[in-house]
Amino acid sequence: MRGLAERAAAGTGEAPACLAPAPGRRHSFVTNGCAGARTVRVVQAGGTHSPCRTVEPRTTATFAGYGPDDGHPVRIDLCEP
């Protein structure tokens, strides 16, 4: 059985369309248009990903990113709670 920290860091699949990624100069942003909070991570073009964090409904969260060229977000993954 995996530990809590290991489970929390694991992506469980692609997030629903109500979560919208956007690249920034040095960060990536995720806007949650879903009805409830979602715990997600951002996967960058180079294969790196952010730590998991919870985004409340109708809010935008900032995630570490590497700019719109080399490290733009390619998808959002759901994380296990």
CA distance 4 to 23: 30
Tell me how many domains the chain contains: 1
* Long-range Cβ pairs for the range 48-57 (8 Å, 24+): 49/11, 49/77, 51/9, 52/8, 52/9, 52/79, 55/19, 55/30, 55/31, 56/32, 57/32, 57/33
- Reported as a single tens digit per residue, the pLDDT across 38-69 is 999 998 887 888 899 999 999 999 988 665 55
Instruction: Please tell me the predicted confidence (pLDDT) of residue 73.
Output: 80
- CATH, residue 72: 2.60.40.20
C-beta of residue 13 within 8 angstroms of C-beta of residue 41: no
- Of 59 and 22, the one with more pLDDT: 59
Least confident of 3-7, 16-20, 56-60, 77-81: 3-7
- CA torsion sign for 11, 17, 18, 20 is positive
Q: Which domain holds residue 46?
A: 4-79
Instruction: Indicate whether 6 pLDDT > 50.
Output: no
